[in-house]
């Protein structure tokens, strides 16, 4: 992909995130709204966070190698699933006053680590699947960041992961041309 496409995708993803982050000023009323049961406004906030996570996950998948069989849909599913788990843990933590919120996040990160570990293979000369495993792990972090309302961090993380996925593709193209 060219730099113009990367910047265009970044603009499509980052601008709504930035606008949403600027319009929502953190205050105690927001947290009390999140702590209240299941009202429509709270659900819509979580749905918007889920949509942002899904789009960022798909963006990461667009820049990943297609040879591994894992593409935009899989990364969108990873990001959206982690956003749902993160939103459920956040909502449960705030509404039930549960201090063990981080243990749920730890379980999620450990679980994706096991899945990532299962796709790493080594033959005599090469280690394969490492970039895919790391990208999956980073995609979970992007989804969790969206669930927690950290849209700017999530967008920049998705951009960094996407750029790191472009580097091996560009190196392979140069090696094939030589």
Per-residue pLDDT of the chain (178 residues; tens, 9 = 90+): 566 666 666 656 665 555 555 555 445 455 555 555 566 777 788 888 999 999 999 888 888 766 656 778 888 999 999 999 888 888 777 777 777 777 777 888 888 877 877 777 778 777 777 788 888 889 999 999 988 888 889 989 998 888 888 877 667 666 666 6
Q: How far apart are CA 100 and CA 148, in angstroms?
A: 15
- Contact between 27 and 38 under an 8 Å Cβ cutoff? The reply is no
Q: How far apart are CA 13 and CA 63, in angstroms?
A: 14
DSSP 37: S
State the residue range of the domain holding 8: 3-177
- For residues 38, 78, 48, 5, the Cα torsion angle rounded to the nearest 10 degrees is 180
Q: Give one DSSP letter per residue of 41-86, joined into a string.
A: HHHHHHHHHHHHHHHHHHHHHHTS-STTS--HHHHHHHHHHHHHHH
Specify the number of domains making up the chain.
Answer: 1
- Contact between 14 and 153 under an 8 Å Cβ cutoff? The reply is no
Give the pLDDT score at 36: 54
Q: 168: Cβ–Cβ under 8 A, 6 or more apart, which residues?
A: 65, 131
Strand partners, 50: none
- Contact between 143 and 58 under an 8 Å Cβ cutoff? The reply is no
Give the pLDDT score at 46: 86
* Alpha carbon distance, N-terminus to C-terminus of the chain: 20
DSSP 3-state of 104: helix
């Amino acid at each position: 992909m060219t730099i113009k496409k990367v910047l265009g995708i970044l603009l499509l993803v980052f601008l709504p995130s930035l606008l949403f982050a600027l319009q929502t000023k953190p205050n105690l009323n927001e947290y009390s709204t999140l702590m209240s049961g299941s009202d429509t406004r709270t659900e819509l906030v979580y749905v918007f966070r889920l949509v942002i996570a899904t789009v960022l996950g798909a963006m990461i998948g667009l820049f990943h190698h297609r040879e591994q069989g894992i593409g935009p849909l899989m990364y969108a599913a990873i990001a959206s699933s982690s956003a749902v788990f993160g939103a459920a843990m956040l909502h449960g933590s705030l509404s039930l006053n549960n201090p063990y919120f981080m243990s749920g996040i730890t379980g999620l990160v450990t679980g994706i680590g096991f899945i990532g570990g299962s796709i790493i293979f080594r033959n005599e000369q090469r280690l394969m699947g490492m970039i895919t495993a790391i990208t999956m792990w980073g995609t979970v972090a992007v989804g969790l960041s969206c669930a927690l309302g950290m849209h700017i961090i999530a967008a920049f993380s998705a951009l960094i992961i996407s750029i790191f996925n472009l580097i091996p593709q560009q190196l392979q193209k140069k090696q094939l041309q030589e």
